[in-house]
Amino acid sequence: MKKRTRIATVMKSTTYDAHDVEQVSTVWRSPIARRKLSNHFRFWCGVVTMMFCHAGCSVTEGQPQDGHRNSSDEKVTKENSGNSVYLADKSVTESSGLANSLRREGYFWTHNDSGDGASLYAYDKTGRRTAKVKLEDVSANDWEDCCTFSSDGKARLLIADCGDNARQRSKIHLFLLDEPDPLESDTVKKVSRITVRYPDGAHDCEAVAVDSERNQIVLLTKSFLPQSGVYVVPLPDSAKKEFDINVTATRIATLVLPLVTAADFDASTGDLWVTNYLQAFRFRATQRRQSFAQQFKQLPDAFDLPKWRQVEAVAVDQDQNVWITSEGSPTPLGQVVLEPSGNGGKIPTHSVNNKKRN
């Protein structure tokens, strides 16, 4: 019988096995993560307090010192150099999803989480907006993630309308379409829909990823506690015409991670990248078609993230580079630079090429 350890939390008592405890220890072993942790939870305690008081507030991020503001044009600012840039127009202020374009290398799709309708925005690596695409007859209740994947030789795009902070939605929606051209603004009419229900009640979810090699859509729930439920939904055959189907997700695992905000698969390796507000985690696939249950039993590699407002989106490009965005205005887009792990088996760290605002 597995030895079990009980961890008491403020909200309730939750039982984890010894592997889970080791995973928690590994995830938060980084000195940078420990330093950030107290400020991080002070912030979220304030958020929770405001939620219970039904009070709202707005937080404005400081402008860069070079005087760049949210101009309506698409010029790239002086600060947009290296591997970290600011999106140079004000269309996106709450970037909650990021997808690497498979049609044109070096371009990305992103979207706001709510209040913007069913709109996608394309940007290049310099932060210049190159297209806006509207989806016709598509709901945009709380878009929280998007991702691209290849299916039957086609570049496809998934958008997840899955956010549920109040945990009251009886169903969520996943929209699938052929990836538009990131250089052409357009209105898309042919969009398929998957209506998803969880087998155990409503969940907040901000992280959805597709692995077309294993024909699965993976959803990770978000919780203040270190327990993210992993659910899967079969990936429909893209050769079919538009479809509108209903499915019940299957729960396959629990990740010992709090506040999961985004996920994406490395299409070449099957590794799953997951982010929360503090770190990025890589769950390696030892074999390309390894079962998710086995993949998620392994301890992840952990990488500290920059002190951005709220990292809520991650994407892996064709060259296995990992990119992130954050909510806030101006919106940062950065490449996570992974340092070699030759550190005696300890968790590797990373840096993000992001110029400081002196």
Does the N-terminal peptide bond of residue 306 adopt cis geometry, omega within 30 degrees of 0?
Answer: no
pLDDT of residue 219: 99
pLDDT number for residue 202 = 97
Q: What are the residues whose beta carbons fall under 8 Å from the beta carbon of 121, sequence distance 6 or more?
A: 91, 92, 109, 110, 111, 129, 131, 132, 133
User: What pLDDT score does 2 carry?
Assistant: 38
Express each pLDDT in 9-20 by its tens digit.
222 333 344 444
Distance CA 328, CA 64 (A): 12
Domain map (residue ranges) of the chain = 17-56+84-352
Token reading at 339: 């340092």
CA distance 245 to 351: 42
Distance, in Å, from the CA atom of 315 to the CA atom of 111, rounded to the nearest integer, reads: 13
Q: With a cut of 50, which residues of the chain have pLDDT below it?
A: 1-82, 340-358
Per residue in 203-214, pLDDT (tens digit) is 999 999 999 999
Q: What is the pLDDT of residue 137?
A: 94
Which helix H or strand E contains 274, and what residues bound it? strand 272-275
**Hey, what amino acid is at 129?**
R
**In which element (H, E) is residue 9 found?**
none
Neighbours of 151 (CB within 10 A): 17
Residue type, 142: D
Q: What share of the chain is helix, strand, coil (3-state, %, to 5)?
A: 10, 40, 50
pLDDT at 242: 87
Residue 146, SS3 per DSSP: strand
pLDDT at site 251 = 98
Centre a 10 Å sphere on the Cβ of residue 94 and count the other Cβ atoms it contains.
Answer: 20
The tokens describing 302, both together, are: 């952990």
pLDDT value of position 352: 39
In this prediction the pTM is 0.75
The topology under which CATH files domain 17-56+84-352 is Neuraminidase (2.120.10)
